Chains A and B, each alone.
Chain A
Amino acid sequence: MSASVGTAHPPTPAAWRAVFGSWVTAYKRTWRGSIFGRFLSPLMFLLSLGLGLGSLVDKSTGGVDGVPYLQFVVPGILAAQSMWVAMGESTYPVMGAIRWNAKYHAMLATPVGIDDVLLGHLIYVAMQITGATAIFIGVAAMFGSFGSWWVLLCLPITVLTGMAFAVPIFAFSAKQETDSGFNILFRFIMTPLFLFSGIFFPVSQLPVFMRPIAWVMPLWHGVQANRSLALGSPDFAAIAGHTAYLLVVIAVGGWLARRAFTRRLVV
C-alpha cells in the first residue's frame, strides 16, 4: 500500500494562492515595523561601508580595480541583504508553522497539499525579498551607488540569490527540533559567507584553498552578477552562468524541501 494521503498532488492555483494569502494576511499586521527595517538596513550599510570606509579606500588606493569603493561594495551588499532576508523568512516562520502554531497542519487538513503549502509560502518569501531589494536599490541609487541603469536587472538576480538560500533553508528548518541549528547556520555559514564572498574585496585576495567555498555557495554568484550589471559593463555570458547556477541551487533545494516537508508533515 502506498504511504499517501494525496497530499503530494501538483500545486493548484486556488490552493497555493490561499496559502500565500494567509501569510500576507499575517504580514498586514506587522508590515510597518518591517518596512522601516527595510529602509534602515541599506542606509546603515551605505553610510558605514560605502561612504565611511569607502572614502578611506578611495583615498589610499583609488578604489578597487579602478572603481570607487561605494560602487564596488553596494551591489555585493545588495546580494547579501537578500540572503539575510531569506534567512529571516525561512527559519523561524517555517519551524514555527510546524512545531509551534501548527499552521501547516491546519492547511493540510483541507484540500491543500504539501506542494501548495510549500509553493504558497515560498512565493510569499520571494515577495518579501523583492520588496526589500527594490527598497535597497532605490535608497542606494539616491547615494549614487550605481554606475548604470543595468542595475534594474539586479532586482531579479538578487531575488534569485535570496531564493537560492530560502529554498534549501526551508528544508533545513523543517528538520529542526529546536532553534539551536539556526545559530549554527547564522554563525558558521551566513556570517563567513557575508565576509568571504567577494563583497568587500575580490575573492582573488583570498587564500587559494578558500576560493572554491565562495564559488560553490550561491552568494558569490549573486554578488558577481550584480556587480557586473551595476557597474554598467555587463558580461552577459558570465551573468547567464551565475543565473543558471542559482536556478540549479533553487531546484535542488526545492526537491530537498519537498522531501523534508513530506517526512515531517505526513506521518
Chain B
Amino acid sequence: MTDPDPDLLLHATGLTKTFGSFTAVDGIDFAVERGESFGFLGPNGAGKSSTMKMVGCVSPVTGGQLRVFGQDPATHGPQIRARLGVVPQKDTLDEELSVEENLWIYGRYFGLSQSEVRARTTELLDFAQLTDRAKSTVEPLSGGMKRRLTIARSLISRPEILLLDEPTTGLDPQARHVLWDRLFRLKRSGVTLVLTTHYMDEAEQLCDRLVVMDHGKIVAQGSPRSLITQYSTREVLELRFDTDDHAQHGEAIAGIGERIEVLPDRLLVYTEDGDAAAAEVHLRGGRPMSALVRRSTLEDVFLHLTGRTLVD
C-alpha cells in the first residue's frame, strides 16, 4: 500500500518490537511530515533506539504498521534506505581510514559514481568543518569531530530524512553546540530531522515536535512549549536543605505552589511565581541551603509523567 500524502514521510500505527519475551517498543503511533524536526525523548531503555532501527530499515518490525516514504520496510528496505541518512548511537566509522576515505567508501554503498562522491566529499567536509583534517586518519580525532564526520557521512546520499540516534551523547558542551548549529542549518535547508535524545535541552533546541517515551510507550506528545504548558507550571522553585531526607521538609511546605516533587537531593515546587513561593517558604520558617527559581523544562514534564528524572 502507498500513502496518498507524499509529505507524510513517516507513519507508524501500533508499532511494536519484541526481543523474545521483552517488549522494547509497545504499540506506538506517530507521524512525521516533510521538513519537520521530530524527536523521541526518553531515558535509556525507553525504546527510542529500537524505534529508530525499525525506521532505518535495519531491524524488522515485530507488529503494527510502519510506512517510510509511504513504503513498507519489509518489502522496500533498500529503496527506503537509499533515501535515509543514518547517524547511529555509536559511531561506525572506519578508524584506520582517513576522514575523506570514510566518505568515499560510504558514498559507493549508495551506488554513487567515484567523481560524484569526491565532489560531495569536498562540500561535506566543509560543512562539517573538517576540511583541514581530510587526510588524517579517524582514530585520533576528538569525539565531536568523529560525530561531525558521521553526520557528514550520512549526508553523502543527500537524504530526505536524517535519523540521529542520540547525536550528542558523550560530547562536551562546546562540541554539542557546534553540532546543534550544524543540525540547525540542515533543518533550515529542508532536511527532515528525526532524533532521539535523553537531553531535554537538546529536544528543546532541535525539535518542533516530540514524543516522550517510557517503557516502550509514548506517554505524551506535542511541541516542547505545549508539553511544558500542559504538564508543568511556568516556574519551578528548587530547594536544597541541609538534610539526608528531603521528604520531611516537603511536608513542612505542603500547599505552596501547585505541586511539590521530592527528589533525593532537593525539593521542586511547581508554581506560577517562584519568588512568591520562596517568600512563603521563608514565612513558614523553612531555611533552605539554596533556593533557585527557574523556568520549567521538559525534564519537569518527564518527572511529572513518570516520577523519574531523565538522566540518573
Contact = CB atoms under 8 A, between A and B. Distances in A.
Interface of A: 1-7, 9, 14-15, 17-19, 21-22, 25-26, 29, 101-103, 105-113, 266-267
A15 B88 contact: no
Given A6-B57, A109-B88, A110-B110, A21 B74 contact: no
Interface in B227-244: none
A108 B56 CA distance: 10
A6 B96 CA distance: 30
B77 A6 contact: yes
A102 B81 contact: no
A110 B109 CA distance: 6
Interface of B: 19, 56-63, 73-82, 84, 86, 88, 90, 92-97, 101, 104-106, 108-111, 157
8 contacts: A3-B60, A5-B77, A22-B109, A103-B94, A106-B88, A109-B56, A111-B78, A111-B81
A7 B58 contact: yes
Nearest to A105: B92
A25 B105 contact: yes
B109 A111 contact: yes
B112 to A, nearest CB: 9
A67 to B, nearest CB: 45
Given A1-B61, A5-B59, A18-B111, A25 B104 contact: yes
A29 B77 contact: no
Contacts of A29: 96-97
Given A5-B58, A25-B101, A109-B58, A18 B108 contact: yes
A109 B73 contact: no
A112 B59 CA distance: 14
A134 B215 CA distance: 58
A239 to B, nearest CB: 39
Contact of A6 (B74, B86, B88): B74
Contact of A1 (B57, B63, B79, B81): B63
Contacts of A109: 56, 58, 81, 84, 86, 88, 92
Given A5-B73, A29-B96, A21 B105 contact: yes
